[in-house]
Amino acid sequence: MDNYNLLLSSNHSSSSNNSYLLQASHADPSVLSESQEEEKKQESYDERPDKEKKKSTAKIANKIRKPRFAFQTRSKVDVLDDGYRWRKYGQKAVKNNNFPRSYYRCTHKDCSVKKQVQRLSMDEEIVVTTYEGVHTHPVVKCTDNFENILNQMQIYSS
């Protein structure tokens, strides 16, 4: 129970009804690599006067692992509005993917929740959104439950 990943895939193409499959898997090598939980080095930022000087990676308090949730949806758009404000801080191309992966971070004072949006190369309609961390602040929108979010997915994908 070190890490728990929630894979939520909404496949509305096959069945007429909105059948959401919610399953909990330990580790999915295809989308999630939880083998090495690299702790973020944003804990203590050194001044870093020069580029040559490598920041002292204080890997203290490296025991707590942040939960990660992977939402795999079928949608045309990458960004799924979950009610939070996200600031994109990076974008990298994945090896086996022709589509880049976007890195977002919650724009809050003390909320450092990260999320990354990846699109499968085989099926460009599949978008994997991986959330990392938990929000410690109220949402700016009314997100009662996932049903609301999933509803938006339906709207977007249709």
Q: Which residues bind DNA (CB under 7 A)?
A: 33, 36, 38, 40-42, 45, 48, 51-55, 57, 59, 85-96, 101, 103-104, 107, 114, 116
In three-state secondary structure terms, 155 is helix
Residues 6+ apart with CB under 8 A from 103: 88, 89, 90, 91, 92, 114, 115, 116
User: Minimum distance from CB of 125 to DNA (Å)?
Assistant: 20
18-to-3, 92, 147 alpha-carbon distances in Å: 28, 33, 10
**And the tokens for 83?**
């009610």
Shortest CB 16 distance to DNA, Å: 35
Nearer Cβ to DNA (11/41): 41
Give least dist CB 117 to DNA, A: 11
Task: Choose between 22 and 94: whose C-beta lies nearer to DNA.
Answer: 94
Q: Nearer Cβ to DNA, position 103 or 131?
A: 103
Amino acid making up residue 143: T
Min dist. Cβ of residue 50 to DNA (A): 8
* Of 11 and 141, CB closest to DNA: 141
Q: How many CB atoms lie within 10 A of CB 70?
A: 21
